[in-house]
Structure 1
């Protein structure tokens, strides 16, 4: 019984994780208030979540703002592109519905295209965060670093995201399903609004990061600093656009 309440016991670790996710979620909400910075907030959110999964306990505030500033320009560019594409898709749907008088085969084909684009978009911000791992320091840096994604061009990022999304439909589909459930939760369970506001962003990113890393072959592994220093990245080839130097982390399954 005393082991449960010890400083290194399961109860303390659980409460510490809850506290870090709470701080992370509040930082994310504050950084997204201008709306145009949502992309940078998402990138920083995933960067800290990757560190949490690797190291267990991190300096959330320091890591978050460092990642936020490091990827502000590129993340904002990607976020504005995502918003523009989603707006265009919504407009195209209503236009197509009017022109075809609600033809179900045509609209169904259009929705398949939308689903394809959503799968391709799911890995965008985790990939941006992935390239920051070596800059943020800590035990997870050498495990999750990927030099080809350290400062990727927009074209490189989009191609890689498309490869991951299409090559790993189950994982990226699961990421989208988690996003949809999180957005619908306060509508169907309004009494959970306070909890949703305090934990929705960080908890969602934590679960999505696990699926993303599974897709990329790098499951969360708690590494000690002395282990991380001597661990090298294995190169492997796959059909998701992360072949050779493009595949992040060791090939763990």
Structure 2
């Protein structure tokens, strides 16, 4: 019984990880309140969860704030770029939905294809910035390239990220439970699970003499 509740027992490790995810989720949401900071908050979240995936985390709150501040500029720039592009894609789709005939369908399909590339780029963008040092252009380019070159992982990450959103809005009951989970655990939990996959993906592009530093020069 003592070992079951010991500090190194599976139960206590699980509860400790759950507490970490709870704290991270609250930090993430607080830093997302001004919408402009969502990018920096997402990068900070993934900076910590990538370390958690490698069992390297220490001083979690301090690490979150440090990553938030150090990556604020590039994360905010790419977030605003992607936000504007997302709004444009959404508006274009709504406009073309009113078109009739073959041309309207062709335009809608084209927008959906572009939207797919947009989505998979977004899935990789902030984890990439959290792990690699690069400029805005190469961060956007490499996020897209990594997502295409690792398509099986990308599909899995997309399911892990998007499926909970659909499940949340299935019924009024799932919405109530879903909002509770998103508020206290959801964002950080998904980031952590995704980080277990990103760890394997990014390892292929890191130097062989990698010293576990979170700041690596990105591929160009």
Return the offset for 1:190.
2.5
Query: Contact 1:186–1:196 at 8 Å: present in 2 too?
Result: no
Query: Contact 2:120–2:147 at 8 Å: present in 1 too?
Result: yes
Write the distance in 2 (CA, Å) between the matches of 1:211 and 1:165: 12
Query: Contact 2:48–2:57 at 8 Å: present in 1 too?
Result: no
Aligned to 1:173: 155
Tell me: CA distance 1:94–1:191, structure 2 relative to 1, closer, same or farther (3 Å): closer
Q: Deviations over 1:128-176 (max 9, x none)?
A: 1003xxxxxxxxxxxxxxxxx2xx1111111211210111122122222
Q: CA RMSD in A?
A: 2.2
Tell me: CA distance 1:96–1:190, structure 2 relative to 1, closer, same or farther (3 Å): closer
Q: Deviations over 1:55-94 (max 9, x none)?
A: 2652221010000000111111011011101001011112
Write the distance in 2 (CA, Å) between the matches of 1:212 and 1:53: 9
Unaligned runs of 5+ in 2: 212-216
Q: Taking structure 1 as the reference length, what is the TM-score of the superposition?
A: 0.74
Q: Deviations over 1:19-55 (max 9, x none)?
A: 1110010011111111110000000000010111222
Aligned to 1:50: 50
1:111 to 2:130 alignment? no
Write the distance in 2 (CA, Å) between the matches of 1:181 and 1:11: 27
Question: Which one is further off, 28-37 or 207-216?
Answer: 207-216
1:157 to 2:143 alignment? no
Unaligned runs of 5+ in 1: 132-148, 219-230, 235-244, 248-253
The number of equivalent residue pairs is 206
Write the distance in 2 (CA, Å) between the matches of 1:114 and 1:15: 38
Of 186, 201, 207, the match for 1:200:
186
Q: Deviations over 1:188-212 (max 9, x none)?
A: 2124132231001100101121222
Write the distance in 1 (CA, Å) between the matches of 2:167 and 2:22: 18
Aligned to 2:210: 233
More helix by share: 2
Q: Taking structure 2 as the reference length, what is the TM-score of the superposition?
A: 0.84
Runs of 4+ that moved beyond 6 A: none
Write the distance in 2 (CA, Å) between the matches of 1:100 and 1:74: 41
SS in 1 for 2:7: coil
